[in-house]
Structure formats: structure tokens, C-alpha cells
């Protein structure tokens, strides 16, 4: 009913973590370790080149001329930074694996693995497993990996701590995405919720989580799914999707919400709520079409139990407005006393709409079904006393004489004794004026 949730191109990239992936770790150039001056000049020229395209050419020259070097780790890190700048995720991923094999706690390599796997098209099962392992390693050893002695030279403490937080968020988000990619939706849900605890304003994660909850096909989670979709579609602050992405999510939400709820009633309120609140309230619920139908049926059953005469009237209306209404009337209602009795219980009850004539009426127009739409005419056997204001509630039993389908109206002949609730009174006769005494 709700369709298959697919990955859509809402964002084209996830931000490089604070420039961390673009920096090589500082290493002292110990002159005796260079094989010769030419190798030193190649490395020095590549390290100082700010253009990633020409830097890559210089790194390739260095590697071609010096396949082995005392500075292999530095060269790998320069390659990694360059591939990231050139948006070459496949090469960055492979380089990060090579770097990690030589240095198992290299934070740039770990970050590059969890970052680049998102852009592999498509990632293999081994790629996903490698990135998942790297993400766990980051989260399990965050303080060690970002110890003070690991901070690059020239990077301030605030920037270093921001990198730490950014890498933590990236690793947690990627665990959710990897589980989602593998269609392990319960695990993806758990990981995405942890990611939103770290960064409640990550709209891309809101979108993924909404799709994950739908994919689990648990109706109890659909309301939360709609909330997270609404959050992704409406939130506009830091971490939000761009305008096109928000519109794309909104269109999808409108479809699945309508499929589930039966209409878009309440969707505007949901969007307004989600725009300012990152998580759904504990009691948040969107009623399904089935919920609504059940509630309507229960309400009708309660009305039938508490207002049996109103239910009878609705059934009569349904029968009379059907194609064979004339047959039903002639066989079941014409010249019959309905509903029978005049004890105030087995009587029809309606609100007075109008009376003719205005005083001492012999004809009353009532509304039985909803209190506003005329649907019943009473022809009294004798004039009623005085008059009453519209809206008065009257009960009656009468003999059905005729009806019309459009507008719907049933006419009854009613004895005054079978009408309850009439409180009109005849005006007291005017007292004669006394003549003044003769002078």
C-alpha cells in the first residue's frame, strides 16, 4: 500500500569532516632518510602543491621513480587527501585500506573509509563490511584516536574537538546507512536513532529513518515514520536538506500519508510540529483508514444504542431514497402509525424548523436527522395553541401519508395527543376597557 522505499538523490555528498580528510599527518623530514635529493624535491613539490590535479601527477611521478620509500605513510596520506579533493571515492577507499593496513589506528584512513563507502556505486559486501568495522573502531576508541598528541600541527584545539564530534556523527550515521543498504531494517532503525541523538537536525538521517520504519512493515511504527519524513520536509536550519530535497520528501510524504490515512487531513499540522520538534511526542499517532473506519463504526453503534429512533429514521431515509423507495413506502409505511406509541420513548424526535400558520399552526416542519435540514412534515388534526420559536424539540407518532425523495420529506398526519413538547399557549383575552364615569 505504501510502496517500496528507495534511496533518492536528495544530497549529492556528505560534507568532508572538518578538513580532516584533506590533511596529511605531520612528519619530520629527516634528510638522511631520503634516498637522494631528487626524491626530496619530488615530495616537497607535491606536498606544497595546492592544486589536487597537478599534485596527483607529482605523486605519481614520485611513486614511479621511488616505488619504495621511507616516507610511504606520508605519501599514502597525500594520495588520500588528493583523491578526496578530486571526488574519486574508489581510489580514496582503496588508499585508506592500504594506509590502515600499515597504521591500524590512523584516524584519516578510518574516516576516509566510512566517508567514501557512501559514494561507491555500488559498494560491495566487502566494502560495506570494511566501512562498518572502521565505524565501530572510531566509536569504540574515539578518545584515543583524538588524543592531544594526535592533533595535526597548526590545528587549534576547538577545531580538533569539532573534528572529533563530526567524525563521531559520521561514523554513527554510516552504521545506520550500511544496515539500511543491507536491508537489515531493525538494526538500521537503532543506529539512525543513535545518530539523531548526536545530531537531532540531520535531515538526511530523518529521511532515511522514515523509510526504514516503513520498510519494517510494522503499522505501529508508521506514525513515527510520517513524523521523520515531515521533519526532513519542513526543517530549514543547519543540517537541513536543500529546497529541492525538501520538496522531494514532501511529495513522497503526501503520497504515503494519504495512502495510509485516507486524506491529507492533519498533514499541515504535522509539518508545522515537526519543523520545530526533532522527535515525535510519545503519544503521537496518525490514524489509519482502518482506525478511522473502526472509530466511525463504533460511534454509529453507540448512537444506535442511545438513539434508536434516530437510527430508525436514518434507515427509513435510506430505504425511501433507494431506487425502489416507492415500493418500500407503499408496502411498509403508507397509512401506518410510526413509530408507534406516544409515551415519549417510542417516538420520533426533531427540532422545529417552521410552523404554518405562524399562530395556532396546523402544519409543522421538523428536522429529525441533523436538527437543521427539513425532512419531516406534521399535519395536525387540529390547530395547536399559540406558537413556538424554531429550534424547539418535539416528539411525535403519526400516520405516514406521503414522501418526496428530493428534497427528502416524509409527511405524517398527527393527532394532537401524540405530539409531545409543544408549549405554545393561547394569549389571554384582552380585558374590556371601562368607560369613564359620567361627570
pLDDT in tens, 364-419: 999 999 999 999 999 999 999 999 999 999 999 999 999 999 999 999 999 999 99
For the chain, what's the residue count?
A: 439
Q: Is the pLDDT of residue 4 over 60?
A: no
Q: Is the pTM for the entire model greater than 0.75?
A: no
Q: Which domains does the chain have, with CATH numbers?
A: 1-27+71-195 (1.25.40), 200-304 (no CATH), 308-419 (2.40.50)
Q: What is the structure's pLDDT at 335?
A: 94
Judged by average pLDDT, the poorest of 117-126, 186-195, 337-346 is 337-346
Q: Would you state the pLDDT for residue 434?
A: 64
Looking at 329-439, which runs of residues are DSSP E strands? 337-338, 348-356, 363-367, 376-380, 393-396, 398-404, 409-414, 419-420
DSSP conformational letter for 53: H
Strand partners, 379: 363, 413
**Which pLDDT does position 272 carry in this prediction?**
97
Percent of the chain with pLDDT over 90: 80
Cα gap 290→285, rounded to integer Å: 13
pLDDT in tens, 136-195: 999 999 999 999 998 888 899 999 999 999 999 999 999 999 999 999 999 999 999 999
Point out which residues pair with 217 in neighbouring strands: none
Confidence label for 429 from pLDDT (cuts 50, 70 and 90) = low
Question: Cα 316 vs. chain centroid, distance in angstroms?
Answer: 42
Residue-level pLDDT at 346: 78
Mean pLDDT of the chain: 89
Q: 118: pLDDT confidence band, cut at 50, 70 and 90?
A: very high
pLDDT tens digits, 255-300:
999 999 999 999 999 999 999 999 999 999 999 988 888 877 777 6
Would you say 149 and 175 are in contact if contact means Cβ atoms under 8 Å apart? no
pLDDT tier for residue 2 given thresholds of 50, 70 and 90: very low
* Phi and psi at residue 62, to the nearest 5°: -60, -45
Q: Which residues does 130 contact at the CB level (< 8 Å), separation at least 6?
A: 97, 113, 117
- DSSP labels for 211-259? HHHHHTT-GGGHHHHHHHHHHHHH--STTPPPHHHHHHHHHHHHHHHHH
Q: State the alpha helices, DSSP H only, in 321-387.
A: 325-332
pLDDT at 355 over 90: yes
Report the candidate in 233, 235, 260, 258 with the shortest Cα–Cα distance to residue 248: 233
63 has pLDDT over 60: yes
Does the pLDDT of residue 437 top 90, yes or no? no
pLDDT digits (tens, 9 = 90+) for 185-236: 999 999 999 999 999 999 999 999 999 999 999 999 999 999 999 999 999 9
Retrieve residue 138's grid coordinates. Answer: 572510531
Return d(Cα 133, Cα 104) in angstroms, integer.
12
Amino acid at each position: 500500500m505504501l510502496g517500496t522505499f528507495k534511496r533518492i538523490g536528495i544530497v549529492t555528498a556528505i560534507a568532508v569532516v572538518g578538513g580532516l580528510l584533506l590533511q596529511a599527518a605531520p612528519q619530520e623530514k629527516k634528510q638522511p632518510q631520503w634516498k637522494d635529493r631528487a626524491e626530496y624535491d619530488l615530495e616537497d613539490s607535491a606536498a606544497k602543491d595546492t592544486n589536487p590535479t597537478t599534485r596527483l601527477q607529482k605523486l605519481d611521478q614520485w611513486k614511479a621513480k621511488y616505488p619504495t620509500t621511507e616516507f610511504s605513510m606520508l605519501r599514502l596520506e597525500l594520495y588520500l587527501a588528493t583523491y578526496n579533493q578530486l571526488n574519486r571515492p574508489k581510489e580514496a577507499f582503496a588508499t585508506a585500506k592500504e594506509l590502515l593496513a600499515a597504521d591500524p589506528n590512523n584516524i584519516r584512513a578510518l574516516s576516509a573509509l566510512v566517508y567514501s563507502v557512501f559514494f561507491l556505486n555500488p559498494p560491495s559486501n566487502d566494502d560495506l563490511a570494511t566501512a562498518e568495522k572502521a565505524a565501530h573502531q572510531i566509536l569504540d576508541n574515539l578518545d584515543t584516536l583524538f588524543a592531544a598528541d594526535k592533533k595535526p600541527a597548526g590545528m587549534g584545539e576547538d577545531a580538533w574537538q569539532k573534528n572529533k564530534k563530526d567524525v563521531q556523527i559520521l561514523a554513527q550515521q554510516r552504521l545506520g546507512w550500511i544496515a539500511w543498504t543491507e536491508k537489515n531494517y531493525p538494526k538500521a532503525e537503532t543506529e539512525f536513532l543513535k545518530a539523531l541523538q548526536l545530531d537531532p537536525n540531520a535531515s538526511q538521517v530523518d529521511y532515511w529513518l522514515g523509510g526504514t520504519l516503513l520498510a519494517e512493515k510494522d503499522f505501529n511504527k508508521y506514525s513515527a515514520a510520517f513524523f521523520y519524513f515531515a521533519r526532513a520536509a519542513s526543517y530549514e536550519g543547519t543540517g537541513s536538506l536543500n529546497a529541492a530535497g525538501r520538496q522531494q520528501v514532501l511529495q513522497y510524504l503526501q503520497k504515503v500519508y494519504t495512502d495510509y490515512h485516507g486524506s491529507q487531513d492533519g498533514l499541515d499540522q504535522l509539518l508545522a510540529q515537526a519543523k520545530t520538534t526533532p522527535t515525535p511526542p510519545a503519544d503521537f499517532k496518525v490514524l489509519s483508514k482502518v482506525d478511522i473506519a473502526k472509530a466511525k463504526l463504533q460511534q454509529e453503534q453507540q448512537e444506535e444504542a442511545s438513539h434508536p429512533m434516530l437510527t430508525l429514521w436514518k434507515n427509513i431515509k435510506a430505504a425511501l431514497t433507494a431506487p425502489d423507495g416507492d415500493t418500500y413506502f407503499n408496502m411498509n409505511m403508507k397509512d401506518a402509525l410510526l413509530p408507534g406509541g406516544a409515551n415519549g420513548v417510542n417516538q420520533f424526535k426533531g427540532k422545529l424548523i417552521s410552523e404554518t400558520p405562524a399562530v395556532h399552526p396546523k402544519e409543522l416542519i421538523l428536522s429529525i436527522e441533523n436538527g437543521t435540514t427539513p425532512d419531516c412534515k406534521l399535519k395536525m388534526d387540529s390547530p395547536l395553541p399559540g406558537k413556538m420559536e424554531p429550534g424547539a424539540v418535539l416528539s411525535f407518532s403519526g400516520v405516514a401519508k406521503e414522501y418526496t425523495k428530493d428534497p427528502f420529506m416524509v409527511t405524517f398526519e398527527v393527532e394532537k395527543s401524540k405530539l409531545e413538547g409543544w408549549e405554545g399557549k393561547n394569549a389571554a383575552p384582552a380585558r374590556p376597557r371601562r368607560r369613564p364615569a359620567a361627570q
